[in-house]
Amino acid sequence: MVTEDSLRSNAPHMQTLHDHQLHYRLGVKEGDHAVLFKQAQEAEHAGRATSYARHERAAGLVPRFRWVHDVPLNASNRDVRVNVLEDWEMRADKVQHCRWIPDLRVSKRNVFDLMRGGRARWKIDNEPFNPLKNQGDNFEHNDGHGTQNLSVVFALLRMLAFLVDQIPQRCWAFFRAVWSPLGSTRLLWERRRALGYAYALASMRQLFEALLYGVKKSAPIFAVDSSSSQLAIESLGACVPANQVIPYHRGNVAPPCRALSACHTSSSHVRLRQSLQKWSQRYKPGSLPSLQMTHTA
């Protein structure tokens, strides 16, 4: 059954749902459907409306229902006949009033289920869509489909990734054990990213074990033999006076220490060391130029 807000309570959209043989329960607002509610009010005065109240003592509320069948949707589509269901949820401190037009006939047997399904739209809005937009996924509104439906493809992939992420939240007790103390989905994602950057994790379970039990911090292990770089560092430092600041520029230009840290392979390290040795022989103190960053595979 399709549950949508009042923007979808129009004749063309309802006809599309009928064409696809889909049941629906669409929200309506009195300001947008004045004729509909006027007809429902007249039906109540004529005795064609049905009222029903149900006490939910455990939840501390008293839902009260009223429904009427076979009323026109609006002045332009009087041939489109709908059912109108209203619900007042009365608590000790407030009253909520909701309205829907279901395509099913309403009765005392199904009115409570229709009401719960209609109110579930807010739960659907807040739990999947609000996290997608505000808790790190950056899933914003988009009024277009993009070139050759590219935006739609991205949206579907994003929703699929969110579904995969929701499965452990629903079914994996280990996930909930990690998530519960943090109290925030955003914080959980930040911790997961941090561990992924710092450690070579073999599985998702190992990741969540690290999150739950913590990890023992150790000294960093360099990708190259740091002992062989000592000569290059000393050669570089010999031509730079202690009171001189190495110039630093943003972009592709960086100080020599940054270039040294960018070495990730033994061959690039050897080439850099040779270059630094040449520098120490060619340049005098005070004349050291800025080092141009180069990236090697």
Residue 140: inside a domain, yes or no?
Answer: no
* Residue carrying the six token digits 């807010």: 122
157-195 pLDDT, tens per residue? Answer: 888 888 888 888 888 888 888 888 888 777 888 888 888
Q: Domain range spanning residue 110? A: 2-127
Report helix, strand or coil for 199.
Answer: coil
Domain end residue (candidates: 127, 162, 186): 127
Residue 135: inside a domain, yes or no?
Answer: no
**Which residues partner with 62 through β-bridges?**
90
Same-domain check for residues 233 and 188: no
CATH number, domain containing residue 99: 3.90.350.10
Q: 288: pLDDT confidence band, cut at 50, 70 and 90?
A: very low
Residue 102: inside a domain, yes or no?
Answer: yes
Same-domain check for residues 123 and 157: no
Residue 139: inside a domain, yes or no?
Answer: no
CA 241 – CA 243 distance, rounded (Å):
5
Looking at the structure of the chain, the number of domains it has is: 3
Same-domain check for residues 51 and 106: yes
Domain end residue (candidates: 127, 156, 171): 127
CA 223 – CA 266 distance, rounded (Å):
9
208-256 pLDDT, tens per residue? Answer: 888 888 888 777 777 766 555 555 555 555 544 545 544 444 444 444 4
Same-domain check for residues 152 and 190: yes
CA 120 – CA 236 distance, rounded (Å):
67
- Ranked by mean pLDDT, the top range of 16-30, 139-153, 227-241 is 16-30
